[in-house]
Amino acid sequence: MNVRRDKRPHDVLREIKITYEGLARVDGSARFSHGDIASLASASGPIEVRLAAEQASQATFEVISRPLSNVPATEAKTLASAIRSALLPSLVLNKHPRTLIQVVVQALVSLRTQWKDPLVASMINASSLALLNTGSVPMRGVVCAVAIGRLPGTGLLIDPSVEECTDLDAGGCFAFIFAEGVGTRVESVWTSWRSKSGFFDESNFVQARTLAKDAAQIVYNAMKMSVSWMGTAESFELVSPAAIRSSTEKKEEHRDDDGRMGICRIELTQAVGMISRAAAFLLVQFLSIRCVLCVYDYVIIGGGNGGLVVASRLSEDPDVNVLVLEAGAEVENLREVYIPGMIGAGQAFTSLNWAYQTVPQDNMNRRNMVVFAGKALGGSTIINSMIMTRATRAQYDAIGAINNSTSWTWDELLPSFKRSEVFTPPDPSQTAHGASYDKSVRGSPFSTHPNHGQVKVGFPNFFFPQSEMFAKALIDKDHGGLGFQRALDLCDGDIRGRVGVSSDSLDVANNARCSAVCGYVTPFVNQRPNLQIITHAMVSKIEWANEMTMDGQLVARRVEYYLDGEDAPRYADVNADSGGEVVLAAGTIGTPKVMELSGVGNSSLLKSVGVDVKLDLPSVGENFGDHIHTWTSALTNASITKDVLRSNESFRKEQVTLWEESRTGLYSAAPRTIGLAAASDLLSTDHIKQLLNDARRDLDKYASQFANGNEALQNGIKAQHQSALDLYDQDEQIPVELNFEPGYAGPTPLEQRGGKNFSTINAILYSPLSRGRTHITSTNHSIPPLVDPAYWSHPIDVTMLTAGYRVARKALRTPPLDSIFVEEFEPGLSVSNSDEELQSYLRHSAGSDSHEIGTMAMMPRSLGGVVDTQLKVYGLRNVRVADASIIPMPISAHLASTVYMIGEKVWIAALKQFFVTDLFLQAADIIKSSKHDRAGPFVYKLDREL
Ligand SMILES: Cc1cc2nc3c(=O)[nH]c(=O)nc-3n(C[C@H](O)[C@H](O)[C@H](O)COP(=O)(O)OP(=O)(O)OC[C@H]3O[C@@H](n4cnc5c(N)ncnc54)[C@H](O)[C@@H]3O)c2cc1C
């Protein structure tokens, strides 16, 4: 198609010419032309700002546009506002609050037609280059613009010439941001596409945008090349590939004897700019300290396991204002929280535990069960059992595979796991009791980066002899054991068929719990004026901007919350224009609740409750998975068990004193010895084969049942099940954990246990295929949501847990544990080992393991996912999730360690918003190293190693 007056094909740009003008009194300047359409821009900043335009949390960005002749009028102001909108997403404005960044852009041609888009494109491009040329205005990307026109009857053409503009019947300018480095992306940020008739043809628009994107890439490539030209007074021309080569050659000629770039013009008048900028920096020093205006770069909903990681990490940058809103209290000083041996007592505090009630569970004798979740600063890490384990390499890889992502695989996640912990290796006495580790998977001190090492992890200093007997009972096949091997490290991803002593979230220096508060907040609390934490603050919803983004995304503007005892809501504003975000970290039940109250979820469900629907995202709250916990216990003749602490008051007091005085004794630790059973440890090969065949046959049936009419999620659950069955095929699945408790654990209350001593083995269903849901039932934020884990809805779950329970029951009688076995307590001799009787017993006794996941699943949208692999909620511009709800399918681990890792991942993903693009860094380097004496003390500090 060769319809153009200048004979260009429809998809070819005219030559690009870029000149760095070195204009006086400004910090950067550039001229940009496409053929005969040219513009000249200058940029200054950060400089002093007029009081009226000053903003406390970010720099003010101003664009002034000047026509070729005459004074700027309404049209120029409209143009300036359009250019500003296009450029805004590229600037990191919160680095320099209370200052001004100003662009003045001058048209160098006059277009007497309504189609001024080529001129707008050149003005945007000139402005981008001028900003880049300052080297002092941090840019997260570079905006490149291209004009597209449509000629009646002939179609779309790129970069219309002045003559062509008079004949167009539709056209517009498209701007794209190009970012390279940690936050690599190309996204459309602005357009002015319109047609003469007013008729909008969507497919035409999409075609135009695609054409523009390809052309913008060429513009970006030209800009990239031109950057090395900064510091010279020469112009840079891109005419053809041959011209590119000749430009490169030409550049060589400008190197001086040391091989450095040639010197640019030095203007004395730039001293004026220097003075004003120095003043602005002083102002920044004094005024940008604490956010008192309730405008935050990040508002984090829920100060728990995941939320505090993100808050702490983001606030490492003093220029980033972070707010945490936590519904619970700050309870680090409560003995039941910090004394490891008092774990159960902490869980019993109703004020610290959301204790969500489930709906009657059909497969659990229609019982209303309870799912625990921590309600305090630190979330569930305040009341959890402190066990720190990780799942298998194969399970994390399966999560990556379902997301077509290499960044969610064991190898890629390991650095984030390691970054979260400061690990104390076991001493000889701990090693003698079975504690061991693999330093290649552990964090600080083996990982030496200064940023690494947050949650303190170590081994207990008190061990019960019967725990080691349990380990031996699982190992010794000759005497009835399972043939397990000793685990090197329960965090090394290789745990199938292993038994070992778990590391704990424990501050071994004083043998106290190390929660998310201890790890991620306490060390910095007085050094981070930019981190604000409000406790007793229950978030009700997120509020959205009136306008969506160009690609139809909702933008979070502010968060509504209620302080305890107050009826009127309060608000925290999000600095959305500068990349600010809301991070949801209210847990697997709390997070979908806030989403739904904010109008994001299954639209028919929301309507039925009376919520104003903002975005139909049907999988919110679905795909709920949880581990099921069961207990088998025996009376024991072991002399010391945890039961003695409950039955003997003077012994208890003694032990408390011991802990207080020397941090030793029974209260100093919560030691756990854990065995991880594969299917082959529980069932015969034929039985497993049969189960898997049946499950494959019924894939659609169960996927459809669990997906609750949600077609995409049905595919997602089917994919999850397939993945789980594949792991079973390779004997890489871990369906059951066997976890030894040196004392009683189970449903029978203390008064009915007659002050006796017990051994308990907890059998936990670790890879359930059942999926349930949680949803709001009211618009009232104080009403707990419906919780339906749909326990035991899949036959594999029933068979595996029953088999695991049977093995646990047997282990209590296996040597050497049999030496302390007196008599089975639960389930008791009245319950035989038949499937029927065991299952009947478990249906009335099993409980939640409080490892709920999956309600904001990280999966592709086509599979019913809610967040992408950057943990961003689909359809929401600036909302991420940082808690256990994103884990798409159950993993065979206690979850805290994985959630810390998730928090670290969210931090990196969110931070990318604030990472400046490599091109800016390159430009800044060139400007700094050139002999051109540029104004201002530009120092841009960036720790790029993560
Ligand atoms: C009793 C118990 C024992 C456990 N034992 C272990 C263990 O030994 N080892 C292990 O690895 N894992 C264990 N877990 C699991 C693990 O601790 C959790 O899965 C994990 O900590 C969850 O992290 P999260 O960030 O998803 O949620 P949480 O840590 O629970 O954080 C959510 C936070 O959001 C707050 N919140 C909720 N709604 C709102 C709202 N509307 N507004 C403001 N704030 C809100 C909550 O109060 C809470 O602080 C246990 C869990 C429980 C409950």
- 81 within domain boundaries: yes
**Rounded Cα–Cα distance for residues 458 and 478 (Å):** 33
Mutate to test the pocket of ligand 1, among 352, 382, 384, 570 (most ligand atoms within 8 A of CB): 384
Going by C-alpha positions, the residue among 416, 421, 617 that lies closest to residue 519 is 421
pLDDT of residue 294: 67
Contact (Cβ atoms closer than 8 angstroms) between residue 938 and residue 149:
no
Q: Which of 325, 372, 380 to mutate to test the pocket of ligand 1 (most atoms within 8 A of CB)?
A: 380
Averages of pLDDT over runs of 10 residues in the chain (946 residues) are 72 87 86 91 93 86 90 85 94 85 94 88 96 90 95 88 88 92 75 84 88 93 84 60 33 33 23 30 29 75 98 87 96 94 87 97 98 98 97 98 95 94 96 96 82 90 95 92 95 97 95 96 87 96 90 92 96 86 97 98 98 98 98 96 93 94 91 96 97 98 97 98 98 97 95 94 98 98 98 98 98 96 97 98 98 98 96 95 98 98 90 72 78 37 34
Number of the ligand 1 atom closest to the C-alpha atom of 895: 11
Q: What is the pLDDT of residues 735-750, one digit of tens each?
A: 999 999 999 999 999 9
Is 880 within a domain? no
Atom of ligand 1 nearest to the CA of 347: 1
Separation between Cα atoms, residue 900 and residue 515, nearest integer Å: 11
pLDDT of residue 172: 94
The per-residue pLDDT for 287 is 28
**Ligand 1: which residue has its CA nearest to atom 48?**
379
Closest CA to 297 of 450, 140, 141, 143: 140
Q: Indicate which atom in ligand 1 lies nearest the CA of residue 852.
A: 19
Domain span at residue 55? 16-271+922-929
Atom number in ligand 1 closest to CA 593: 41
Q: Report which protein residue has its CA nearest ligand 1's atom 23.
A: 305
3-class secondary-structure state, position 900 = helix
| Contacting residues for 77 by C-beta, under 8 A, at least 6 apart | 65
Q: How far, in Å, CA of 808 to CA of 736, rounded? A: 10
Question: Residue 414: inside a domain, yes or no?
Answer: no
Q: Determine which residue's CA is closest to atom 52 belonging to ligand 1.
A: 384
- What is the residue whose two structure tokens read 């503007």? 557
Question: Could you tell me the CA-to-CA distances from 478 to 534, 595, 684, 761, 812 in Å, in that order?
Answer: 58, 54, 18, 21, 16
Neighbouring residues of 826: CB distance < 8 A, sequence distance ≥ 6: 631, 632, 633, 746, 747, 748, 845
Kindly write down the DSSP assignment for every residue of 814-835, as one continuous string: STTGGGGEEEEEES-TTS-SSH
Give me ligand 1 centre to Cα 379, in Å. Answer: 4
Q: Which atom of ligand 1 is nearest to the CA of 897?
A: 11
The pLDDT of residue 235 is 64
DSSP notation for 649-701:
HHHHHHHHHHHHHHS-SGGG----EEEEE-GGGTS-HHHHHHHHHHHHHTHHH
- Distance, CA of 418 to CA of 402 (rounded, Å): 24
Are 496 and 676 in contact, with CB atoms under 8 Å apart?
A: yes
**Could you tell me if 633 and 745 are in contact, meaning their C-beta atoms sit under 8 angstroms apart?**
yes
The answer to whether residue 152 sits within a structural domain is yes
Count of CB atoms within 10 A of residue 722's CB?
16
CA of 23 to the centre of ligand 1 (A): 57
Question: Whole-angstrom Cα distance, residue 161 to residue 6?
Answer: 8
From the CA of 307, how far away is ligand 1's center (Å)? Answer: 10
Residue 19 has a pLDDT of 86
CA 324 to ligand 1 centroid distance, Å? 15
Alpha-carbon span 422 to 410, nearest angstrom: 19
Instruction: Look at residue 416 and tell me if it is in a domain.
Output: no
In 3D, which of 585, 588, 586, 584 has the Cα closest to residue 852? 588
CA torsion angle 78 82 87 89 (round to 10): 120
Query: How far is the centre of ligand 1, averaged over its atoms, from the C-alpha of 302 (Å)?
Result: 9
Task: Using the atom order of ligand 1, give the atom closest to the CA of residue 540.
Answer: 41
Expressed in angstroms and rounded, the spacing between residue 83 Cα and the centre of ligand 1 is 45
Kindly report the CATH number assigned to the domain that includes residue 196.
Answer: 3.30.230.70
**Residue 245 amino acid letter:** R
Give 34 Cα–ligand 1 centroid separation in angstroms: 57
N- to C-terminal Cα separation, the chain: 50
**How far is ligand 1, taken at its centre, from the CA of residue 178, in Å?**
38
- Around ligand 1, the residues with Cβ closer than 6 Å are 301-307, 325-328, 347, 372-376, 379-381, 383-387, 538-539, 585-588, 590, 594, 850-851, 883-884, 894-897, 899
* Distance in angstroms (rounded) separating the CA atoms of residues 590 and 577: 27
pLDDT for the residue 859: 98
Q: Give the tens place of pLDDT for each residue, 18-70.
A: 888 788 889 999 999 988 899 999 999 999 999 999 887 788 999 999 988 77
Residue nearest to atom 47 of ligand 1 (CA): 375
Instruction: Give the number of the atom of ligand 1 that is nearest the alpha carbon of residue 588.
Output: 26
Q: Do residues 261 and 292 make contact, with C-beta atoms less than 8 angstroms apart?
A: no
Residue at 528 is within a domain: no
Q: How many CA atoms lie within 13 A of 253 on its CB side?
A: 6
Q: How many domains does the chain have?
A: 1
Other C-beta atoms lying within 10 Å of the C-beta of residue 70: 9
Of ligand 1's listed atoms, the one at least distance from the Cα of 372 is 53
Q: Are 878 and 300 in contact (CB under 8 A)?
A: no
Nearest CA among 272, 323, 319 for reference residue 98: 319
What's the gap in Å between 304 CA and the centre of ligand 1? Answer: 6
Q: Is the dihedral angle over the CA atoms 928, 930, 931, 934 positive or is it negative?
A: negative
Would you say residue 936 lies in a domain? Answer: no
Instruction: Give the distance (Å) from ligand 1 centre to CA of residue 907.
Output: 18
The tokens for 213 are 């994107």
Asked if residue 357 belongs to a domain, the reply is no
Would you say 837 and 843 are in contact if contact means Cβ atoms under 8 Å apart? no
Which atom of ligand 1 is nearest to 328's Cα? 47
Amino acid letter, residue 910: A
**Quick one: which atom of ligand 1 is closest to the CA of 586?**
34
| H helices present in 63-197, as ranges | 74-87, 117-134, 162-165
**521 alpha carbon – ligand 1 mean position (Å):** 16
For ligand 1, atom 50, which residue shows the shortest CA distance? 384
**Do the beta carbons of residue 364 and residue 791 sit within 8 Å?**
yes
Q: Which residue of 895, 900, 902, 905 sits with most ligand 1 atoms within 8 Å of its CB, as the best mutation to test the pocket?
A: 895
Quote the ligand 1 centre to 601 CA distance (angstroms).
Answer: 22
* CA 366 vs CA 35, 360, 460: distances in Å: 76, 4, 39
Ligand 1: nearest atom to the Cα of 538: 42
| CA–centroid distance, residue 757 to ligand 1 (Å) | 31
Ligand 1 center from residue 854 Cα (angstroms): 14
CA of 586 to the centre of ligand 1 (A): 8
pLDDT at site 492: 98
Q: What is the pLDDT of residue 318?
A: 80
Q: What are phi and psi of 230, to 5 degrees?
A: -60, 150
Say how many residues make up the chain.
946
C-alpha 318 to ligand 1 mean position (Å): 28
In whole angstroms, give the CA distance from residue 740 to residue 817.
11
Distance, CA of 146 to CA of 253 (rounded, Å): 32
**Which atom in ligand 1 lies closest to the alpha carbon of residue 307?**
25
Q: What are phi and psi of 672, to 5 degrees?
A: -130, 130
Contact residues for 197 (Cβ-Cβ < 8 A; gap 6+): 169
Distance CA 727, CA 701 (A): 20
For 123-155, the DSSP string reads HHHHHHHHHHHHS-S-BSSEEEEEEEEEETTTE
